[in-house]
Each structure stands twice: as C-alpha cells, then as structure tokens.
C-alpha cells in the first residue's frame, strides 16, 4: 500500500481516486483554492459535484490550507491542477516538501522557449530544484482519459512517462486494475509533446465537420506532422503511434472543444469570430498552444530544426490562429506519396 496525495480536486484528479483506491492505496485528495466547494461537497456527501460520482470509500478530502497535514507521510504526489495552476502548485511543493518524493503530473503543457518547447514536468522539476535543491523524480500521464469514463470504471488506457522506464513501470504497477490499463514509456518529452499537440491537430480534423473523406486526409497529415514536430523536440515516433499521440488524437478529433473550434473554422469563421461568438469564454487548449508556440515553431523552421515543407497543415493552422484569417487547407501541399 502506498500513501498518495492528489493535488487538485477537479475531474481528472478526482477520477484518479478510482484506480488508486481500488488498488487499496491511502488516497488524500487536496483541493486548490478554487476547489473549496468541491471539497465541502465531498466531505458532506462523498459526491464529486462535477463528476457526479460518489468517490470510493476512504478517500480523504482536504482543503488547500491543510496541505501540510495531507502531505505528511505521503510516498507519492499526483498533480492534477489546471495548467494555470502549475505555478501555484510549484509554490506549494516548495513550501511543504521536506524530502524528495515522486511527482506524477496529470497537468499537461509545453512551455515555449526561443528555440524549443519544454515539457511541463521538466519545468516543474527544474523550478523545485532551483528553489529547494531537491531533485524530484517526475513522471507524467498521457493518453486519452476522459475523466467521466474513468470515474465509472470504464476501460481506460494511459501512458505513464518518466525519463527512467523503471519509474514509469513502478507507477503503472501501482494503479493497474481490471479497467485501468497504464503502460510505461521512457519518452517523457515525446508523450508530453503529443499530449499538447494532439489538441492542436484535432482543431484541423474538426475542420472537416461531417465530411469523413476530408477528415481522414487531415488525420493522416496530422499524424505525419506531429511526428516531425515531436522528433524535432527530441521525442520518439513510438510516442506519436501510442496512447498520447494517435490514440488521443482519435478521441479528441471526435469530440471536445478543439474539434468544435475546427468545425467553426470549417464553416468559414475566423478564430477570433469563433471565440468571440459561439465559443466565447471557452478554453481551447489546442488554440492556446498554437498561439503560444507559433513563434518557437517558426523559429525552429527558420533554423532548419523543422522542415517547413513537411508542415503545411501546421503552418496553415498557425496562420489561422495568429493571423485571424480563415483556415484554408493547402491540399496540394499535403503528402503526394506514401
């Protein structure tokens, strides 16, 4: 049995309580400052109000103010805050950790730097090390995991990535159940980059709307361009062909905000028109990534780290997101040979 703390009581953090408790671990779910209502609810009734699921018996729920107490004696931290909450989480880790314990990130993201994009887990580990001197073992969970499905114990597959395969395997072994199927990867960068870019490319697949023939062309082109980008960032083809890549692109293309934005672009709206109209106020991760990473990606192309000719779809999508023009797909520039 392991004692683990899940930081962030949103749907994804809460859903992880299922395999964790079903494997008999002691689970402490810690809300952020934005999760107070959720924690209150759970303490009163056990029901997670966003998942609409009663979490398993024995999940402890803690307000953020009790984090010190909740982290005492834990062997493992699972970070399930939103991307925006990462800096808050880093502050809390630095404040409360007295010895290095492994951190598994459900939170995803790629930080744009001038010449490359850095995976969020590396950013977190670097910051904690800089501020506390502690080197954390860090891992990340990728792959198509709809929280509401996991929360009712439907078959769910993820990939747990860490720089050391051994750590990824040990973590997977902690959570594997008859319905939760984690696999291991030593390609932390590849898995994280796929987790980010699948959202970006799902926008493009969404462009096709109910035109299946067109969706398939874009899907194939997206896999190829994702491979080129992930390679340039130091990741592997196996990540792209795995759960965080093609597996999650499949699911994300079928449903969700990214593909819905694509639908609107396919109807001729510009990005600005979509987000100030039918999608006002919604977070569209793939678009946020594209806008944040556009400069870096273009710089990588200019420096020859990425072949511009291999990325017609990426370039069209970046142009639409950053230039506020309609998304015109350059069909003739897509693969002409297999």
Contacts with its own copies, residue ranges (CB under 8 A): 143-146, 149-150, 154-157, 159, 165, 169, 172, 178, 181, 183-185, 187, 191, 208, 211-217, 219-220, 223-224, 238-239, 241-243, 246-248, 250-251, 253-255, 329, 331-332, 334-338
When the beta carbons of 50 and 298 are compared against its own copies, the nearer one is 50
CB of 127 to its own copies, least distance (A): 27
Q: Report which of 84, 110, 108, 105 is spatially closest to residue 229, judged by C-alpha positions.
A: 110
CB of 197 to its own copies, least distance (A): 16
Q: Which two tokens stand for residue 124?
A: 């977190």
CB of 168 to its own copies, least distance (A): 8
Cβ atoms within 10 Å of 211's Cβ, excluding its own: 12
When the beta carbons of 1 and 178 are compared against its own copies, the nearer one is 178
Q: Report which of 166, 99, 92 is spatially closest to residue 136, judged by C-alpha positions.
A: 99
**Roughly what angle, to the nearest 10 degrees, separates helices 188-206 and 312-323?**
70
CB of 185 to its own copies, least distance (A): 4
CB of 200 to its own copies, least distance (A): 17
- C-alpha 5/C-alpha 3 separation (Å) is 7
When the beta carbons of 253 and 314 are compared against its own copies, the nearer one is 253
When the beta carbons of 173 and 302 are compared against its own copies, the nearer one is 173
When the beta carbons of 114 and 337 are compared against its own copies, the nearer one is 337
- C-alpha 203/C-alpha 38 separation (Å) is 31
- C-alpha 219/C-alpha 200 separation (Å) is 12
CB 224 within 8 A of CB 310: yes
């Amino acid at each position: 049995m392991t004692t683990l703390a899940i930081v962030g009581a949103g749907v994804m953090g809460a859903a992880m309580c299922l395999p964790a408790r079903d494997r008999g671990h002691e689970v402490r779910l810690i809300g952020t400052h934005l999760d107070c209502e959720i924690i209150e609810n759970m303490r009163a009734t056990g029901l997670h109000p966003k998942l609409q699921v009663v979490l398993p018996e024995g999940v402890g729920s803690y307000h953020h103010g009790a984090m010190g107490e909740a982290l005492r004696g834990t062997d493992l931290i699972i970070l399930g805050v939103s991307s925006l909450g990462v800096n808050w989480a880093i502050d809390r880790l630095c404040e409360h950790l007295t010895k290095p314990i492994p951190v598994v990130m459900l939170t995803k993201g790629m930080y744009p730097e001038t010449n490359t994009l850095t995976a969020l887990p590396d950013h977190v580990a670097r910051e904690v090390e800089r501020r506390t001197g502690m080197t954390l073992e860090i891992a990340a969970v990728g792959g198509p995991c709809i929280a509401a499905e996991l929360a009712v114990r439907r078959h769910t597959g993820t990939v747990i990535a860490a720089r050391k395969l051994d750590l990824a395997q040990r973590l997977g072994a902690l959570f594997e159940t008859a319905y939760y199927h984690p696999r291991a990867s030593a390609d932390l960068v590849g898995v994280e980059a796929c987790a980010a870019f699948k959202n970006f490319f799902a926008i493009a697949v969404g462009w096709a709307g109910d035109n299946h023939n067109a969706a398939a062309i874009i899907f194939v082109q997206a896999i190829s361009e994702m491979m080129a980008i992930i390679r340039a960032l130091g990741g592997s083809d196996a990540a792209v062909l795995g759960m965080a890549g093609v597996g999650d692109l499949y699911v994300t293309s079928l449903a969700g905000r990214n593909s819905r934005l694509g639908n609107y672009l396919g109807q001729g709206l510009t990005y600005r028109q979509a987000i100030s109209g039918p999608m006002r106020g919604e977070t569209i991760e793939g678009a946020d990534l594209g806008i944040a990473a556009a400069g870096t990606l273009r710089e990588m192309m200019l420096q020859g780290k990425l072949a511009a000719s291999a990325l017609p779809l990426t370039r069209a999508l970046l142009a639409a997101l950053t230039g506020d023009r309609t998304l015109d797909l350059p069909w003739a520039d897509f693969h002409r040979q297999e």
